[in-house]
Amino acid sequence: MTAMTAPTGWSELSRYRQLLLSLTWRDLRVRYKQSVLGIAWAVLLPLSMMFVFTFVFTRAIDATAVLNIDMPYALFAYTGLVPWTFFSVSLGGCVNSLVSNRNLLTKVYFPREVFPLSSIGSALVDFMIAMSVLGALMVYFHWTGAWTCTIRLVWLMVPVVVAIQIMLTIGVGMLLAMGNLFYRDVRQIFGVSIQLMMFLSGVVVPVPNDGSMLAWVISLNPMVAIMAAYRDCLVFGRSPDPISLAYAATFAVVALIVGWVCFRRASFRFAEHV
């Protein structure tokens, strides 16, 4: 069976899992190659952004009262920045995943899905490392008395939220990878859009919740529900809003199916556009 007609299903992808792991490890090595701090940047990136936004909103403009956040702002920001960094870095890698692997794309057959999936896999490693620091922050603020930390069963919901985010990332990532291969403008549009989306996803500032049309439009972004679910589980110690989380999960499943099917159907044309 030729590379043009070979099926690319989950079963076939599982047979190439070693290739997927190798590409994921390669992406990690390339990302931190000739870096003095290496994998430590997985923690330093969200931490540095946390410090910047904490300074801006609590010192430079003293907007804590306006933001109406019932927790230390640094904890609010970090809890949002870690999953958001995972999301944005994953999609940034997916956008270029096909273009940057043009040599492999045109010479050897294997499931083309391994390229965007390896980008997401390497970002997932960073995410897991950065999330470990969240525990230290929670202990610190509990020790200083700025916030009370208690272990709750709802923390077991976090893997569910992570799974929803991964499904969403895979679906959107495949569409971006495919789109950028056919139209190089996608990379430029993505670079601008992802910065705007950060402020419309409740990452560093709460989204409007006043029942207005603007608040309703912003709530259509599934990342809003995902960000809220992380904070509900980890920081507030309560179950996420079931309707919002169900909406995010449904959106993620639809995005995964659409992205996967479109990617597979277009894969026979990839070699023509590299």
pTM as predicted: 0.86
Least confident interval from 13-27, 47-61, 94-108, 194-208: 47-61
For residue 204, being part of any structural domain is answered with yes
For residue 45, being part of any structural domain is answered with yes
Average pLDDT over residues 195-199: 89
| pLDDT class of 39 with cuts at 50, 70, 90 | low
pLDDT of residue 50: 81
For residue 74, being part of any structural domain is answered with yes
For residue 208, being part of any structural domain is answered with yes
| pLDDT class of 1 with cuts at 50, 70, 90 | very low
Per-residue pLDDT reduced to its tens digit, 95-137: 998 888 877 777 777 788 899 999 999 899 889 888 888 888 8
pLDDT of residue 41: 65
Q: How many domains does the structure of the chain reveal? A: 1
Average pLDDT over residues 266-274: 76
Sequence-ordered list of residues with C-beta below 8 angstroms from that of 82, at least 6 positions apart, any chain: 46, 127, 130, 131, 134
For residue 5, being part of any structural domain is answered with no
Average pLDDT score, the chain: 84
Exposure letters 65-95 (e unless 16+ CB within 10 A, then b)? eeeebeebbbbbbbbbbbbbbbbbbbbbbbb
The more confidently predicted of residues 63 and 2 is 63
Convert the chain into a string of H (helix), E (strand) and C (coil). Answer: CCCCCCCCCHHHHHHCHHHHHHHHHHHHHHHCCCCCCHHHHHHHHHHHHHHHHHHHHHHHCCCHHHHCCCCCHHHHHHHHHHHHHHHHHHHHHHHHHCHHHHHHHHHCCCCCCHHHHHHHHHHHHHHHHHHHHHHHHHHHHHHHCCCCCCCCHHHHHHHHHHHHHHHHHHHHHHHHHHHHHHCCHHHHHHHHHHHHHHHCCCCCCCCCCCCCHHHHHHHCCHHHHHHHHHHHHHHHCCCCCHHHHHHHHHHHHHHHHHHHHHHHHHHHHHHHCC
For residue 38, being part of any structural domain is answered with yes
pLDDT of residue 86: 94
For residue 165, being part of any structural domain is answered with yes
Average pLDDT over residues 231-256: 94
Domain of residue 217 covers 10-272
pLDDT of residue 273: 66
For residue 4, being part of any structural domain is answered with no
Residue 225 above 90 pLDDT? yes
pLDDT of residue 44: 74
